[in-house]
Amino acid sequence: MRTRRRLRAVCVAVLCVIFVVGLFAGTVSPYSYSKQFRERPNAAPSSSHLLGTDSLGRDLFARLIYGTRVSLLLAPAAALLATLIAGLLGGFAGFMGGWCEKLILSAADLSMALPLLFVLLALRAVLPLDIPPILSVIATFILLGLLGWPSSLRVVWAATKNLKNSDFLLLARATGCTRWRMIARHVLPNLRPILLAQFWISIPVFVLTEATLSMLGLGVTEPLPSWGNLLRGLEDISGVSANPWRLSPLILLVLVVICFQLILPAQEETA
């Protein structure tokens, strides 16, 4: 138990460091993510380019840090959106019951039956492919947030349903507590750990989905970097075997997802 707690502390520390570096990418990185060194394409790591350069002569370290900012700031934003939708709808369904509950649960079941990537592709295809990079980032993560709520909703709904039938809420109702006061003072504080757990669970899922979408050319568009479009460098096998440092985005992504996976049980336990 103690080892596990230490491991979680290490994971939190690693995530904090990566998050802070991503947040202050402009200060940490010596160059802009789009600055080209045309005389040095595919350069090996050196003191001026810590991870070398890509085929267009852009500094890989700078792109990795800026990509971290995009992926690690927007995945939590999408997770927050998904958790908010799940919290509102799941809480409402669990608390109100009746036809509202049936309608919301049916919508969630229906959404869960949809293959997520197919729906993402269909919705992304509605938008033009040549939208500005910033808009592509926002569109990608809003789509993830809007489609990622159904599984969390089921959990929130079940927890709310349990709370609704609990003794302390019965007592609150018997003492004349109004519905809104019950929601604000009793239901929401008890749902907080569950919502928090769902939020943490969603982040690595969205990071991985963004990576897959961007690798397929349907996520964050160039020249803005994200872990997904940096991973497109792996498609060139000869390039990777000659320049193994091109694996750095994959290593960073795997490290972050592992850290999230390892700190997740702590959240589940609190839930």
Partner 1 sequence: MLAVLCFAGGLLSASLVRLAPGYGVDERELDPRLSQASMEAIRNAHRVNSNLLSYYGRYLARAIRGDLGSSEWLQQPISSLFKERFPVTAKSVASGVLLAWGIALAISLANVLFPGFFVEISGTLVSGLFIVLPAAVVAIFSVYLHAPVFLAIAVVTFPKLFRYLRNLLGHAYSQPYVLAAQARGIGQARILFHHVLPLVSPALFALLGVSLSLAFGAAIPIEALCDSPGVGQLAWQAALNRDLPLIVNLTLLITLITVAANSLANVANERAL
Is the separation of the CB atoms in 214 and 220 below 8 Å?
Answer: yes
Task: Give the C-alpha separation, 195 to 97, whole Å.
Answer: 20
CB within 8 A of 214, min separation 6: which ones? 140, 220, 226, 227, 228, 229, 231, 232
Q: Does 216 participate in binding partner 1 (rule CB under 8 A)?
A: yes
Q: CA 231, 237, 238, 242 torsion: positive or negative? A: positive
* Binding mask of the shown chain, residues 23 to 62, with x at each position contacting partner 1 by CB under 8 A: ----------------------------------------
| Nearest to partner 1 of 100, 208 (CB atom) | 208
Least distance CB 37 / partner 1 (angstroms): 27
Least distance CB 35 / partner 1 (angstroms): 27
Residues numbered 127-156 forming contacts with partner 1, rule: CB under 8 A:
128-129
DSSP 8-state assignment for residue 222: T
Q: Does 158 participate in binding partner 1 (rule CB under 8 A)?
A: no
Q: Does 126 participate in binding partner 1 (rule CB under 8 A)?
A: yes
* Binding mask of the shown chain, residues 73 to 112, with x at each position contacting partner 1 by CB under 8 A: ---------------------------------x--xx-x
On the question of a cis peptide bond just before residue 223, with omega within 30 degrees of 0, the verdict is yes
Q: Does 176 participate in binding partner 1 (rule CB under 8 A)?
A: no
Nearest to 227 by CA among 203, 199, 202, 263: 203
Task: Give the C-alpha separation, 96 to 100, whole Å.
Answer: 7
| Nearest to partner 1 of 107, 183 (CB atom) | 107
Q: Does 218 participate in binding partner 1 (rule CB under 8 A)?
A: yes
Q: Does 10 participate in binding partner 1 (rule CB under 8 A)?
A: no
Task: Give the C-alpha separation, 113 to 7, whole Å.
Answer: 36
203 sits in which H/E element: helix 188-215
The four Cα atoms 145, 159, 194, 175 give a dihedral, to 10 degrees, of 120
Residues numbered 191-210 forming contacts with partner 1, rule: CB under 8 A:
204, 208-209
List contacts with partner 1 (CB under 8 A).
106, 109-110, 112-119, 121-126, 128-129, 204, 208-209, 211-212, 215-218, 228, 231, 234-235, 237, 250, 253-254, 257-258, 261
